[in-house]
Structure 1
Amino acid sequence: MEEYGFFLAYNNQAEVLRLPVNPEKLEINSSGDGKSYTIIDLGEINSIQPNKLREITLESFFPGQRYPFVVGETLHTPYYYIEMIRKWMETKRPIRFVFSALQLPERALSSSLAQSSQLELERFTSEETFMAINMAVSIEKFDWSIAAGDSGDIQFKLSLKEYVFYRALKVKVKTDTKTTTVAKKRTDTKQTPKTYKLVAGDSLWKIAKKHLGDGGRYKEIQKLNGIKDSELRKLPIGLVIKLPQKEASS
């Protein structure tokens, strides 16, 4: 004799629901994620990739009364199951889906003592089973409906997707204790003044006219070299003076 159990558990089995009516069909979709490439002179090849996450679909109903085919010792109202599943969805945390089949000795199931859903789940996961699925999942979709004449029963369809636990690792960036400060040197567009050595008969006006193209710029030469007005008529021969840029400063 076999006994089948479908369980949904949340927060490390702190909250457990056993589906009161076993689904007629359990659909599990498991597919790969291979990629195809076309190679010259070889044709199409397939690159095998890690499998996609498994998807589970099951349909059943929450009974409004205890029918002979209802499983488990605990039967809640249909809305209890609905609110519990909706609450789990809102937490945005994974739950655990367990499907297990036990090989039982020939005895009436009703003879067992009343057990809570937590104890039933423990029995289904600890005793020897010949078929078992136990995986963390996310609730992707939960549809339910009420049909006239169903005596308070609520039909539902549940879509689950395998969940892989992960955590973000802290990345420690090692920095060099020796920091090198790179100072950006501002480009100096100002040209270094040229120099001129005075000869006999020179004046600042002649020098400005010859080298700067404008005799009136002699005052720039005078200011650049710190020559006083009283020294303009007696500049010593051989004196080396600086010349400003050829273009007049604006």
Structure 2
Amino acid sequence: MEEYGIFLGFNNQAEAFRLPVNPETLEIKESGDGKSYTIIDLGEINTISYPKLTEITIESIFPAQRYPFVLVQEGGLKRPFEYVELIKKWMTTRRPIRFVFSGVSYADDTKKAEGKLNDAKKWLKQSSTSEDKSIEIDFGVNMAMSIEGFTWKLSAGTSGDIEYSLSLKKYVFYQAVAVKVVNDEVKVEKKRANETPKPTTYTLKSGDSLWKVAKEKLGDGKRCGEIQKLNGIKDSELRKLPIGKVIKLP
């Protein structure tokens, strides 16, 4: 059997979710940027240029209830407006998101019940040397993308379901580089682009908890898990956080 899934993530998967309902069609636009010219005694010719950035359009729904066609969700199904608010928040950061589209084949139908498709990272890391020979990766698309458009509507008679259309465009990382001139020779200092926002820091004080810090500094106490993961804090350390410890904030 085969199953396919689409994941959207932000900040190196610190925030991510799987689309609860796969779109009926996934429109992917690939086009070139060539130009045509008319030459005397030759006629029309065309030049081949670099291809334009990939564009993807997704149209589906965020369901208000667990229909038979709703896909398994890691951490449970969110409410429709939670998906909407998360996408809107990503747009305001003016940073790219991560688009993952992957498909797998199962040799045994019972694998589906084990939730093997919940983790997009695992799909893309699977290889021919994987110990789990019952899973075969059909394909995997993993690229940074910008959110170019997001429209949604709540229609009458849909039990609270939200219909949406999401437009994405491939994002190419770029940055200004330092240039030095040494003995009339131009040297460019290259640095690897980083899609992760630079974290701020906070110094723990008496009475602090990660929930309290997340509430005060990030505006949402539920983001305490992000702080814990970012700083590698063990569950056993949560009850007694060291005073004076400097932690990073997502």
Match of 1:66 in 2: 66
Match of 2:158 in 1: 150
Match of 1:170 in 2: 178
Give matches, 1:77-156, under 5 Å.
77-108=79-110, 111-112=113-114, 120-127=119-126, 128-156=136-164
Give matches, 1:171-190, under 5 Å.
171-173=179-181
Letter in 2 for 1:9: G
Deviations 1:129-153 (A, max 9, x none): 1122111100000000000010110
In 2, distance between residues paired with 1:124 and 1:152? 32
Letter in 1 for 2:97: I
Letter in 1 for 2:94: K
Match of 1:39 in 2: 39
Give the percent of matched residue pairs that are identical in Structure 1 and Structure 2: 57
Q: Residue 172 of structure 1: SS of its match in structure 2?
A: strand
Match of 2:7 in 1: 7
Letter in 1 for 2:166: L
In 2, distance between residues paired with 1:171 and 1:88? 33
Residue 126 of structure 1 deviates from its aligned partner by 2.3
In 2, distance between residues paired with 1:125 and 1:153? 31
Q: State the aligned residue count.
A: 173
Whether the 8 Å CA contact 2:102–2:120 is kept in 1: the answer is: no
Q: Residue 44 of structure 1: SS of its match in structure 2?
A: strand
In 1, distance between residues paired with 2:124 and 2:5? 10
Residue 175 of structure 1 deviates from its aligned partner by 9.1
Match of 1:30 in 2: 30
Residue 109 of structure 1 deviates from its aligned partner by 5.6
Deviations 1:66-96 (A, max 9, x none): 1111112331011110011001000000011
In 2, distance between residues paired with 1:110 and 1:174? 61
In 2, distance between residues paired with 1:35 and 1:106? 51
Cα 1:6–1:39 shift into 2, 3 Å: same
In 1, distance between residues paired with 2:36 and 2:26? 31
Residue 168 of structure 1 deviates from its aligned partner by 1.2
- Unaligned ranges ≥5, structure 1: 177-250
Letter in 1 for 2:123: F
TM-score, length of structure 2 as denominator length: 0.65
Provide the alpha-carbon RMSD of the alignment: 2.0
Residue 100 of structure 1 deviates from its aligned partner by 0.5
In 2, distance between residues paired with 1:95 and 1:137? 5
Displacement over 6 Å in runs of 4+: none
Cα 1:126–1:175 shift into 2, 3 Å: closer
In 2, distance between residues paired with 1:19 and 1:124? 16
Deviations 1:79-122 (A, max 9, x none): 11001100100000001111101101332466316x8x9x6222
Deviations 1:166-201 (A, max 9, x none): 11112235699xxxxxxxxxxxxxxxxxxxxxxxxx
Match of 1:206 in 2: none
In 1, distance between residues paired with 2:52 and 2:140? 20
